[in-house]
Structure 1
Amino acid sequence: MRTTTRMRTLGLCACAVTVAGVLAGCDSGTKSGEAAATEPAASASPTAAASRAPADPDAAAKTAALTTYRRMWAEQMKAYQKADARGTELTQYASLDALGQFRNDLARMKAAGTVVRGELNHHGTKVTDLDMKATTPTATLTDCMDISQWQTYSTKKHAVIPMPTSQPLRYLATAKAERWKGQWLITAFTPHGDQSC
């Protein structure tokens, strides 16, 4: 119930901004981590190289979960731009529960006559918890959502609907994912609009 209320607050009603978008601007933290690991390599001694921490055994699983999350948002952006999921591949990246949530959001947008314009940027998206030993492997992802380039547009009034002045332009969000038959699916998405980042 809290998730549904928060989704409405963040833009699925006519007075707020919908959270969705292409993750092209996403900084998962991997690039900065790679740079830090690569730069000292030229001057590192063999002893220092040998004492480096071993590679993360779950790196591939984390990357796959993050890829699913990014692709889900890319498809969701297509849906939110027209308030319609038809013609998207959301079903490949989201579970039935998550799809139900997103479809409800789209139905509210359509009823209100709103669509989304602009971009949603993501900062520091990462896997914060991973359980590969469970019967159904699970992952928790955290994301810093940046809606500063987003607009809710009224197709009835042909005008941009201003954001509430109390709406943070960057806030935390979490997502849950599960791996079924080798494929990660997002099972839940929860924006935390009261937690800026």
Structure 2
Amino acid sequence: MDTYALFWDEQAKAYAKGDTAGTSLAQYAAGEALSSTQDDLKDLHTKGIVTTGAPTHTTTVFSLEPGKKVPSAKLTDCLDSTNWKFIYRKSGKPVEMPQSRLIRYVTKINAEKWGKQWKIVDVTPEQRAC
């Protein structure tokens, strides 16, 4: 689904600058997906953390229900954060991450079609490798 890839493109831009301003994230995200990103960005901002690079993903449409009043889709993704690094904005030094942190993990996604635009409404990372 193109919307999910665009959602991640815009999200990576927001994390790189520490803010959604100047991105098109709200065009591709709504509900919990948008609010959790905004909350996460606020938390990282207070810690002086931004990102470099971007995650990659391998996405599969799990189910599609175009006939509902609000068409919906469920996706599964193998998110790979190998090239997505968290750094301290001022020093550029990497943020130390836990050794047990999953680099490639399964993510469940819910999307809805609002008018002519698909929106990512929920993204749930799972604690299992892919």
TM-score, reference length from structure 2: 0.93
RMSD of the TM alignment (CA)?
Answer: 1.2
**Residue in structure 2 matched with residue 80 of structure 1 by the alignment:** 15
**Residue in structure 2 matched with residue 154 of structure 1 by the alignment:** 88
Map Cα deviations across residues 55-77 of structure 1 (whole Å, 9 max, x no partner): xxxxxxxxxxx111111110111
| Larger helix proportion of the pair | 1
Alignment of 1:146-185 (within 5 A): 146-185=80-119
One-letter code of the match for 1:106? L
Larger Rg computed on CA atoms = 1
**Residue in structure 2 matched with residue 57 of structure 1 by the alignment:** none
1:150 to partner: Cα distance: 2.0
User: In structure 2, what is the Cα distance between the partners aligned to 1:159 and 1:187?
Assistant: 33
SS of aligned partner of 1:160:
coil
Map Cα deviations across residues 69-127 of structure 1 (whole Å, 9 max, x no partner): 1111101111000111110001111114322111101100101110011231112x111
Query: Structure 2: where are the runs of 5+ without partners?
Result: none
Residue-pair matches, total: 130
Equivalent in 33, 38, 53 of residue 118 of structure 1: 53
**Residue in structure 1 matched with residue 39 of structure 2 by the alignment:** 104
User: In structure 2, what is the Cα distance between the partners aligned to 1:98 and 1:158?
Assistant: 28
TM-score, reference length from structure 1: 0.63
What percentage of aligned pairs have identical amino acids?
A: 38
Query: Structure 1: where are the runs of 5+ without partners?
Result: 1-65
